Homo-oligomer: A and B are copies of this chain.
Amino acid sequence: MSTISQLDQVKKCSGEFILAINDTMNVLNGKWKLPIIGSLLYGKKRFKELEREIPKITPRMLSKELKDLEVNGIVTRTVYNTSPVTVEYELTESGNTLNTVLDAMIAWGLQHRKMVIGKKEKVAEAVSV
């Protein structure tokens, strides 16, 4: 039985569950969080590396989103006192475990695509008969 479908039995927990979902959504929110997290899943990166790897992102957005992710405990920011400074961004443990969510999304997304295409084919068949 899924966590969600247990809600009927455990109504008093639903607030906590909704909070947890909102937390997750907030972390992934916006146009650039997923590309950034996706890029960092392959290992720590410097600011300019991320800027180069993520097409069309502006430094303003990269900076803003990285700050957001840092505040939310998803990435760490490490400054080395070279000059000019070197700054490295890395996923925290929480950040790394986000792949469980991404995996669920991949699985659902792929399955959904198949279903939608299947439906369209059925409609096409029905029409062509």
Annotate A104-127 by CB proximity to B: 1 below 8 A, 0 otherwise.
111111111101100100000000
Contact with B along A1-30 (1 / 0, CB 8 A): 011110110000000111111111101100
| CB-based nearest B residue for A26 | B109
Q: How far is the CA of A110 from the CA of B3 in the complex (A)?
A: 12
Q: A43 to chain B: closest CB distance in Å?
A: 11
Q: How far is the CA of A28 from the CA of B7 in the complex (A)?
A: 20
Judging by beta carbons under 8 Å apart, are B4 and A113 in contact? no
Please judge, given known A-B contacts A4-B41, A111-B97, whether A104 and B103 are in contact too, CB under 8 Å. yes
The dominant DSSP class at the A interface is helix
Contacts A111-B94, A111-B97, A112-B94 known; A105 to B34 CB distance under 8 Å?
A: no
22 A-B residue pairs with Cβ-Cβ distance under 8 Å, sorted by A, are A2-B100, A2-B103, A3-B102, A4-B99, A16-B110, A17-B106, A20-B109, A21-B34, A21-B102, A23-B109, A23-B113, A25-B28, A25-B105, A27-B112, A73-B116, A73-B119, A100-B104, A100-B107, A100-B108, A101-B101, A101-B104, A104-B104
